[in-house]
Amino acid sequence: MSRTPGRSTSTSAGSSWWLLLLLIPFVALLWVPFYNRFDPALFGIPFFYWYQFVWVILTSLIILLVDSRTREVDAADRDDRP
């Protein structure tokens, strides 16, 4: 099994936990029967539409969080190199 040179296993394992957060929007939008309904409406918009729109915003925030946390790990990894 090959390993990425210059990367420790503990750092790689630590950053992979952050990547699991990216599964949350995937699972939340994958199960369509959960949000396939009209009520509760928000400003006259059926639940089916605004639920998906809220997840667009939440997914962007989750991606920003994961990116910032994994970049910190990668930057610390680069600083440790000789």
- pLDDT tens, position by position, 52-67: 999 999 999 999 999 9
Residue type, 27: V
Overall domain count for the chain = 1
Residues contacting residue 65 through CB under 8 Å, at least 6 positions apart:
18, 21
Q: Is residue 48 part of a domain?
A: yes
Domain contains 71: yes
Q: What is the mean pLDDT of residues 35-46?
A: 88
> Has residue 67 been placed in a domain?
yes
The pLDDT tens digits of the residues spanning 28-37 come to 889 888 888 8
| Domain, as residue range, for 57 | 13-80
pTM of structure:
0.67
In a domain, 33, yes or no: yes
The per-residue pLDDT for 39 is 85
For residue 5, being part of any structural domain is answered with no
Answer yes or no: is 61 within a domain. Answer: yes
Query: Which residue shows structure tokens 């918009």?
Result: 45
Per-residue pLDDT tens digits for 9-26: 455 556 778 888 999 999
